[in-house]
Structure 1
Amino acid sequence: MGDIEDPDSSGARQSALLSVLPSKEFATSRKGMLLIAEVGLSFISFLCFAASAAAAFVTVPLLEFLGAIFLLFAYSTKFNERFKGFCWPLMDFVRCVTASIIYFIISIMAVSKYADGSSKAAGVFGFIATIVFALDFYLIFNELASFLKQGGESTEEPSAHQDNFSDSDSD
């Protein structure tokens, strides 16, 4: 008797899954593609470091994976518009700068110090992640710089996926 499923239950499961995934418009945007690449590269790098002799470096890809997946979720669900306590572009900029520097350092160490193949693969994926994170912080920097050149007079934050400034600052 328990073998028959309610036809609505599969639709409910599918809508729950779709609510967690980023929207198609965000996933195809420049920021969405960069965040998806950061999540993917960080996860692959995490797996390679976990399987290698350089397992001491596994913390960096794990933290960057969690940070990138949080921001992917926040931007795709527009959580940043509801929580205005942080300057989201600046937080994202600092995350990308630190990630690119640390990925570059651990990738050099993984490639030069360890001889096993998974350490070399982790280093290569780390170098690719360094490039993606550096591209992301370069684009964020350009958006922040153009916003600051305008003197902050615009009502929109630098990124198209960011929330509006509150008008309480002008009171």
Structure 2
Amino acid sequence: MGDIEAPDSSQPRQSVLMSVLPSKEFATSRKGMLLIAEGALSFISFVCFAASAAAAFVTVPLLAFLASVFFLFAYSTKFNERFKGFCFPLMDFIRCVTSSIIFFIISIMAVSKYPDGSSKAAGIFGFIATVVFALDFYVIFNELAGFLKQRGESNEEPAGQRDDFSDSDSD
């Protein structure tokens, strides 16, 4: 029969869904939990805005959800390590800062301007998302600051050595 091979039953089959989902180690890490919370809150806020009178604000939670899912996928599959030209932590920091600010603004507008319940619910979930995004950019900022401080200390030694050599050359 030749063309069709029997599947190897000694190896467990991994479903397509399990290959797309993040690993348990990453999902239970601080970054994984923050990204999952950001994605979930953005999606809930998107659904609430879509069902409310404040449907004009539906774009922000949708874009925040898609960006959170992208970064969740990139970090969990180590996709970010393959591209050295992009600074993924900086892009993630900018995403968190802008999402936090914009979610805060549209949540205030949704709660104060629109009287229906789904607008109020979208505003409440938006405020919670604001806090989660702010916590994430705080964590990223501390990691970036520690990395830059460590890198700055390692760059100071060669500069000092170069000055010593240049002084001895001029004598």
2:36 corresponds to 1:50: no
Q: 1:145 maps to which residue?
A: 145
In structure 1, runs of 5+ residues without a counterpart are 1-5, 155-171
2:65 corresponds to 1:65: yes
Q: Which moved more, 1:73-82 or 1:126-135?
A: 73-82
Question: What TM-score comes out, normalization by structure 1 length?
Answer: 0.81
User: SS in structure 2 opposite 1:150?
Assistant: helix
Backbone CA RMSD of aligned residues? 1.7
Structure 1 counterpart of 2:104, which letter? F
Structure 2 counterpart of 1:16, which letter? V
State how far apart, in whole Å, the 2-side matches of 1:115 and 1:82 are.
Answer: 48
Structure 1 counterpart of 2:22, which letter? P
Q: 1:33 maps to which residue?
A: 33
Q: Following TM superposition, by how much is the alpha carbon of 1:151 offset from its aligned partner in structure 2, in angstroms?
A: 2.4
Structure 1 counterpart of 2:16, which letter? A
User: SS in structure 2 opposite 1:151?
Assistant: helix
Structure 2 counterpart of 1:114, which letter? Y
Structure 2 counterpart of 1:150, which letter? Q
Correspondence 1:153-164 to 2 at 5 A:
none
Give structure 1 regions of 4+ aligned residues with deviation exceeding 3 angstroms.
none
State how far apart, in whole Å, the 1-side matches of 2:46 and 2:152 are.
Answer: 39
User: SS in structure 1 opposite 2:151?
Assistant: coil
Structure 1 counterpart of 2:74, which letter? A
Correspondence 1:55-134 to 2 at 5 A:
55-134=55-134
Structure 2 counterpart of 1:80, which letter? N
Structure 2 counterpart of 1:96, which letter? C
State how far apart, in whole Å, the 2-side matches of 1:37 and 1:61 are.
Answer: 13
State how far apart, in whole Å, the 2-side matches of 1:47 and 1:7 are.
Answer: 42
Larger Rg: 1 or 2? 2
Aligned length: 146
In structure 2, runs of 5+ residues without a counterpart are 1-5, 155-171
State how far apart, in whole Å, the 2-side matches of 1:145 and 1:75 are.
Answer: 20
Structure 1 counterpart of 2:86, which letter? F
Structure 1 counterpart of 2:143, which letter? E
State how far apart, in whole Å, the 1-side matches of 2:56 and 2:29 are.
Answer: 35
State how far apart, in whole Å, the 2-side matches of 1:85 and 1:50 are.
Answer: 37
Overall identity of the aligned pairs, in %: 84
